[in-house]
C-alpha cells in the first residue's frame, strides 16, 4: 500500500465554501432565498437583545427562517468587546447564547466578534463559555484552514473587488494534495444600501451546485476538522480508528474511505 494518507472533506472533496453574515437584519430573508436557490450554506450571527427592532428579524421567525443554516452568537447588544470588562463580555455572549438556544431549540456554539473587536483574554473566556470558534473581520485573501478557531480570519468580505476571482480560484483549483476553504463574510443589509444584490446572486450562481465543493456552515467545518484530528492511526498507517461521532473521509491516493463513528477500518 502507498504510505500516503490524506484527510479529505466529506465525500473525498478537497474544496469547501462557507459564508458568515452578521446582525440578523431583515435583508437576511432575501439572502437566504439566494443561498437556498444555489445550494450555498453558512452561518448567521445574531444579537438576541436587539431582535425587537423593526429592522431586524423577530425572534418568532428565527427557527423557520434559518432552518438548515447555523445560528451563532454576535453578543446580546453588539458592544465593542475589547473595551468591555470581561464580566460584561461573559454576560453578553452567554446571554445571547442562552437566548438563541431557547429560540432555535439547538446548541449554539459559534460566534462572530462585533466590530471585529477582541483580545487574547476574550478568546480564552469564550472557550470557557462553550464557544467553539469566533470569526474576526480580518480578511486574509487566502484559503487556509483555521489555525486558531477563536480568531478565525475569513478569506474576504463580499464587497471585495476580487470576490469573483476568489470564486474562480476555488472552482478551478485541482491540486488534490491540499484542503482549501473559501470563507466569505458580510452583512445582508449592505446589498440594500449599495443596491447591488446582483453581486451575491452572481457569486452564488457561479460557485453553487458544484459536485467537488463541500458547502458547509462554520460549525460543521470546525467539528469536522476536530474529528479528523482525533483519528487514531497505526504506526504503519494501515489501520485507522475514529473515536468521534462524525464520519471522516480519508484517501490513500488510490482509494477513498469514510471512517464511521467508533469504526476501526483497515486500509487496503
In this structure, what is the dihedral angle of CA atoms 170, 176, 179, 184, given to the nearest 10 degrees? 10
Order of strands across the sheet that contains 248-251: 6-8, 248-251, 256-259
Identify any residues that bridge with 239 across adjacent strands, giving them in sequence order.
266
Distance of CA 16 to the CA centre of its chain: 10
Give residue limits of the domains in the chain.
Answer: 15-226
Distance CA 48, CA 115 (A): 16
pLDDT in tens, 135-162: 999 999 999 999 999 999 999 999 999 9
Distance CA 165, CA 191 (A): 19
Residues 223, 24, 139, 168, CA torsion sign: positive
**Fold that domain 15-226 belongs to in CATH:** TIM Barrel (3.20.20)
- Is-contact 155 139, C-beta < 8 A? yes
- pLDDT of the residue at 1: 44
- pLDDT of the residue at 139: 97
Say if strands 180-186 and 156-157 run parallel, antiparallel, or are unpaired.
parallel
Query: What's the alpha-carbon Rg for the chain, to the nearest Å?
Result: 19
pLDDT in tens, 49-108: 999 999 999 999 999 999 999 999 999 999 999 999 999 999 999 999 999 999 999 999
Share of the chain above pLDDT 90, in %: 97
Amino acid at each position: 500500500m502507498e504510505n500516503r494518507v490524506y484527510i479529505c472533506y466529506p465525500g473525498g472533496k478537497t474544496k469547501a465554501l462557507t459564508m458568515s453574515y452578521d446582525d440578523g437584519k431583515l435583508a437576511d430573508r432575501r439572502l437566504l432565498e439566494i443561498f437556498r436557490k444555489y445550494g450555498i450554506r453558512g452561518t448567521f450571527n445574531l444579537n438576541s437583545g436587539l431582535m425587537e427592532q423593526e429592522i431586524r428579524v423577530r425572534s418568532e421567525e428565527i427557527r423557520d427562517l434559518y432552518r438548515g443554516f447555523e445560528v451563532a452568537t454576535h453578543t446580546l447588544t453588539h458592544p465593542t468587546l475589547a473595551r468591555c470588562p470581561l464580566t460584561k463580555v461573559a454576560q453578553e455572549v452567554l446571554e445571547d447564547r442562552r437566548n438563541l438556544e431557547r429560540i432555535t431549540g439547538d446548541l449554539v456554539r459559534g460566534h462572530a466578534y462585533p466590530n471585529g473587536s477582541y483580545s487574547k483574554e476574550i478568546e480564552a473566556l469564550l472557550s470557557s463559555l462553550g464557544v467553539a470558534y469566533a470569526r474576526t473581520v480580518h480578511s486574509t485573501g487566502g484559503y487556509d484552514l483555521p489555525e486558531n478557531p477563536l480568531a478565525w480570519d475569513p478569506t474576504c468580505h463580499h464587497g471585495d473587488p476580487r470576490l469573483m476571482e476568489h470564486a474562480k480560484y476555488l472552482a478551478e483549483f485541482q491540486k488534490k494534495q491540499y484542503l482549501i476553504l473559501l470563507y466569505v463574510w458580510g452583512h445582508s443589509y449592505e446589498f440594500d444600501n449599495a443596491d447591488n444584490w446582483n453581486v451575491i446572486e452572481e457569486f452564488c450562481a457561479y460557485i453553487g451546485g458544484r459536485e467537488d465543493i463541500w458547502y458547509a456552515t462554520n460549525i460543521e467545518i470546525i467539528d469536522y476538522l476536530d474529528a479528523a484530528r482525533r483519528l487514531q492511526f497505526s504506526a504503519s498507517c494501515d489501520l485507522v480508528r475514529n473515536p468521534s461521532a462524525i464520519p471522516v473521509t480519508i484517501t490513500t491516493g488510490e482509494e477513498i474511505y469514510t471512517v464511521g463513528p467508533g469504526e476501526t477500518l483497515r486500509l487496503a
